[in-house]
Structure 1
Amino acid sequence: MTLRLHDTAARETRDFVPLVDGKAGIYVCGLTVQSEPHVGHVRSAVNFDVLRRWLTANGYDVDFIRNVTDIDDKILAKSQEQGVHWYALAAAMKRELDSALAAINVLPPTYEPGATGHVPEIVELVEQLIARGHAYPAEDGSGDVYFDVRSWPSYGELTRQRLEDMEPAGDADPRGKRDPRDFALWKGWKKETEPQTAAWPSPWGPGRPGWHIECSAMAGKYLGPAFDIHGGGVDLRFPHHENEQAQSRAAGRPFASFWLHNAWITTAGEKMSKSLGNSLLIPEVLKRVRGIELRYYIVAAHYRSHVEFSFEALDDAATAFRRIEDFLGRAAPVVGNWFAALPDAFISAMDDDLGTPAAVAVIHESIREGNRLLADGASDALSQKFGEVIAMLDVLGLNPADEAWADGGSDDKLTDVVDALVKGLLAERTAAREAKDWARADAIRDQIKAAGVEVEDTPTGPKWSV
């Protein structure tokens, strides 16, 4: 079956046809490293990690570029508030981001460029736009350079908006603009309020890149003038992605063939953000659930569906994933030589615009069948089912045996302690049952349940899960 993806620009789901057979170039807008990442931040990384894994599973050689915005107005403002160098803040927050993504098994990108490392490419692209008549230096002496939106008749095509209906661009002082909707490509250095380290030389004087131009320059640097897929959060469609496409095509670059956008994780119906005061930082969430359970929670929803976050839903997802682990734990000792084969239903789900909800449903259906086979002692059929589950989890980055989850941290030691304590109580319960002391056996089971542990009696003995 052919992979079909929902192209935001075309507003339809269509067949993915790569520009080069067997290869796929993906550019994803990463974070502005101004603060610690929360659950809403990492959704995009997980969603596009699944896309990358699925393309790889289908034999594509994937170049996956995810940028980092390491200089902008917000970083400068927050560094001043905190009394630290802007580059120290950006570096510290980048380390926090790396740690968060590693904790949920997001593969490192092929390359992760930062804006500050690509000023020459950015300046070159701005010069090309000026030469083509699509950009101009401000005449107010600020050193700013703007994209002339009226010079590009197709401006607004990505989000299907008319220029007349757009609000003024808010990324620079409007006094130097020909049209209030013109957006900044280069920002002149404000020596009265900005540190000298936040400025680079350019033909228009010292300054720094605008937000939008950096992604166009870096995508072109690593993927060429035309590439397959550009991704990011739905909130980036306008103005960021609209401006990226306009300036890139105005410079003569075809740019992205597909635009994919993941939806928000919301709280109380609003986008999760620091400004709402409802952000959920990854280290705090991982005190409640494991990284693999948080990833399962994100993967189980379709990338284009908005998710209303709640701890109850997160706990339910963790419980559902533990049922998967329980099956694997009980089946692993008894299966023979198993092989990894993806069920047709899983393939169809993933090929249908990365239909992860349906794909996860296939996993649970396979586990229900696997549990039946386990009870019946059908080892050959069980080995096949076990292999199917492992193969599907691998595609979604959820295989518990993946070394990415084997960090040997305190959580593993805690699990060992709890396992020993619960098994001790279960041994007492078994002894009580053998002595037909049903009251004692029931009391032990109630004690275990009150601690938040579920016990399942199986043909091979009692099994427990949190």
Structure 2
Amino acid sequence: MHAWPASEVPALPGQGRDLRIHDTATGGPVTLEPGPVARIYVCGITPYDATHMGHAATYNAFDLVQRVWLDTERQVHYVQNVTDVDDPLLERAQRDGVDWVGLAEQETALFREDMTALRMLPPKHYIGAVEAIPGIVPLVERLRDLGAAYELDGDVYFSVESDPHFGTVSGLDAAAMRLLSAERGGDPDRPGKKNPLDPMLWMAAREGEPSWDGGSLGRGRPGWHIECVAIALDHLGMGFDVQGGGSDLAFPHHEMGASHAQVLTGEFPMATAYVHAGMVGLDGEKMSKSRGNLVFVSQLRRDGVDPAAVRLALHSRHYRSDWEWTDGVLQDAVDRLGRWRAAVSRPDGPSAEALVDEIREALADDLDAPAALAAVDRWAARQEADGGTDTGAPGLVSRAVDALLGVAL
């Protein structure tokens, strides 16, 4: 599966700071100091109803992570998956009377278009669950051979008790985990499971549903969590720098995935930091497919909204915050974009070296994009009020906003 084209990242004078970011597993900040190549895995979409603002906010956050690392003169090895076979996708295809493969391809293509328009940097490896199945099957077989997996009516489950570190990603107690498992694709009430929290590794073939050869596992398809584990281990290995996604993935998805990987390799932890973006709401409720209250990037683009304004709207809220999308949030972003473009269109202006440092400091401090926007606002206000004599300042501001915030002025 191919990703989307990369926009050029302008070079800036000087060098950025190491990223200090909130780690869900420890509940506090960690300073990431990768080697020459920083490694990040961000969980991708299940391709239906793409790309809504919740998706966009999540990928915006991890695009900033990449840009901070690139500004420290590191390379970035970014991996993202596409869950192109799963119950919600199959259910949507059946509801709409369409082929599930075609639906997945259509929505994935739309996602690529939206990411391109928003100038999100693409992953180096963009891997679908279906294409990952040959690598998934041996992992499930190995977990079974290690005594960490068991069969139940043809399905194969992972035993969470096989990992002594289970629970350290989300920090939740068993009761909270059970509630979230039921809400987020698990089956804690299924009779015969060793532990209600045990997640499925391999689902035996069901009539009328797609299935693949699973070797000694029989025909079937992979569970949700082992998909990302197989892709991450194959392309990044253990101990990579950031495991990212929305806050609703901390449990069960990232918790279960970490346990799978840790049992498979005997190493801990799977990732140095588990980083989660907040949820985006609309009209007082979380924006979600089940509620049908989605705002789509593609619809905004069709309505003539500049993708750069959408990007600024996303930057205006801290990535870890739960926030609400409104017409006012978008209008503020449109107005800000206009002010910034007017400011950099002049032949000279106030010196901008300090501004570049302010943006770098803000983003290195847990991706504080609102603080970075405020810094550019102050420079633009000085430009409007007093102007300046630095002929290189407008160009430097334009390059910095592009390189560090992904917004083309």
Q: Same fold (TM over 0.5)?
A: yes
Aligned residue number for residue 211 of structure 1: 224
Cα distance in 2, alignment partners of residues 229 and 288 from structure 1: 35
Give the percent of matched residue pairs that are identical in Structure 1 and Structure 2. 34
Aligned-pair Cα RMSD in Å: 2.1
In the alignment, does 2:404 pair up with 1:398? Answer: no
Report if aligned partners of 2:348, 2:394 keep a CA contact under 8 Å in 1. Answer: no
SS at structure 1 position matched to 2:157 = strand
Report if aligned partners of 1:79, 1:89 keep a CA contact under 8 Å in 2. Answer: yes
In the alignment, does 2:301 pair up with 1:290? Answer: no
Distance 1:79 1:176, change over 3 A: farther
Aligned residue number for residue 148 of structure 1: 159
Report if aligned partners of 1:234, 1:261 keep a CA contact under 8 Å in 2. Answer: yes
In the alignment, does 2:354 pair up with 1:309? Answer: no
Cα distance in 1, alignment partners of residues 70 and 383 from structure 2: 27
How do 1:432-443 and structure 2 match up within 5 A?
none
Cα distance in 2, alignment partners of residues 100 and 65 from structure 1: 18
Q: Return the offset for 1:366.
A: 1.4
**Unaligned stretches of 5+ residues in structure 2:** 1-16
Q: Return the offset for 1:59.
A: 0.7
Deviation by residue 1:250-290 (Cα, 9 ceiling, x = unmatched) = 11243111111110111233210122121112222221521
Aligned residue number for residue 131 of structure 1: 145
SS at structure 1 position matched to 2:82 = coil
How do 1:254-333 and structure 2 match up within 5 A?
254=268, 255-286=270-301, 287=303, 289-329=305-345, 331=346
Deviation by residue 1:405-442 (Cα, 9 ceiling, x = unmatched) = xxxxxxxxxxxxxxxxxxxxxxxxxxxxxxxxxxxxxx
Q: Return the offset for 1:225.
A: 2.3
Aligned residue number for residue 98 of structure 1: 112
Cα distance in 1, alignment partners of residues 289 and 262 from structure 2: 34
Distance 1:33 1:147, change over 3 A: same
Cα distance in 1, alignment partners of residues 60 and 82 from structure 2: 16
**Unaligned stretches of 5+ residues in structure 1:** 401-466
Aligned residue number for residue 62 of structure 1: 76
Cα distance in 2, alignment partners of residues 362 and 28 from structure 1: 29
Q: Return the offset for 1:326.
A: 1.2
Higher-RCO chain (CA-CA 8 Å, sequence separation at least 6):
2
In the alignment, does 2:126 pair up with 1:117? Answer: no
Aligned counterpart in structure 1 of residue 251 of structure 2, from 238, 244, 253:
238
Q: Return the offset for 1:85.
A: 2.1
Q: Return the offset for 1:200.
A: 3.1
Aligned residue number for residue 61 of structure 2: 47
How do 1:405-444 and structure 2 match up within 5 A?
none
Deviation by residue 1:382-401 (Cα, 9 ceiling, x = unmatched) = 5335423432342101122x
Aligned residue number for residue 32 of structure 2: 16
Report if aligned partners of 1:340, 1:391 keep a CA contact under 8 Å in 2. Answer: no
Cα distance in 2, alignment partners of residues 110 and 398 from structure 1: 21
SS at structure 1 position matched to 2:217 = coil
1:260 alignment partner AA: V
Report if aligned partners of 2:142, 2:264 keep a CA contact under 8 Å in 1. Answer: yes
Q: Return the offset for 1:125.
A: 1.2
2:142 alignment partner AA: Q
Aligned residue number for residue 7 of structure 2: none
Report if aligned partners of 1:128, 1:251 keep a CA contact under 8 Å in 2. Answer: yes
Distance 1:59 1:217, change over 3 A: same
Cα distance in 2, alignment partners of residues 42 and 188 from structure 1: 34
1:293 alignment partner AA: A
2:379 alignment partner AA: S
For the pair shown, the structure with the greater C-alpha radius of gyration is 1
Report if aligned partners of 1:335, 1:383 keep a CA contact under 8 Å in 2. Answer: yes
Q: Return the offset for 1:355.
A: 1.0
In the alignment, does 2:178 pair up with 1:167? Answer: yes
Report if aligned partners of 1:341, 1:391 keep a CA contact under 8 Å in 2. Answer: no
In the alignment, does 2:91 pair up with 1:77? Answer: yes
SS at structure 2 position matched to 1:273 = coil
Cα distance in 2, alignment partners of residues 186 and 229 from structure 1: 26
2:406 alignment partner AA: G
SS at structure 2 position matched to 1:106 = coil
In the alignment, does 2:205 pair up with 1:189? Answer: yes
2:314 alignment partner AA: I
Report if aligned partners of 2:47, 2:107 keep a CA contact under 8 Å in 1. Answer: yes
Q: Return the offset for 1:339.
A: 9.1
Deviation by residue 1:32-63 (Cα, 9 ceiling, x = unmatched) = 11233211221111111111111101111100
SS at structure 2 position matched to 1:126 = helix
Deviation by residue 1:222-265 (Cα, 9 ceiling, x = unmatched) = 00122111100001111111111111111124311111111011
How do 1:377-392 and structure 2 match up within 5 A?
378-379=388-389, 381-384=390-393, 386-392=395-401
| Structure 1 runs, 4 residues or longer, greater than 6 Å off | 338-341
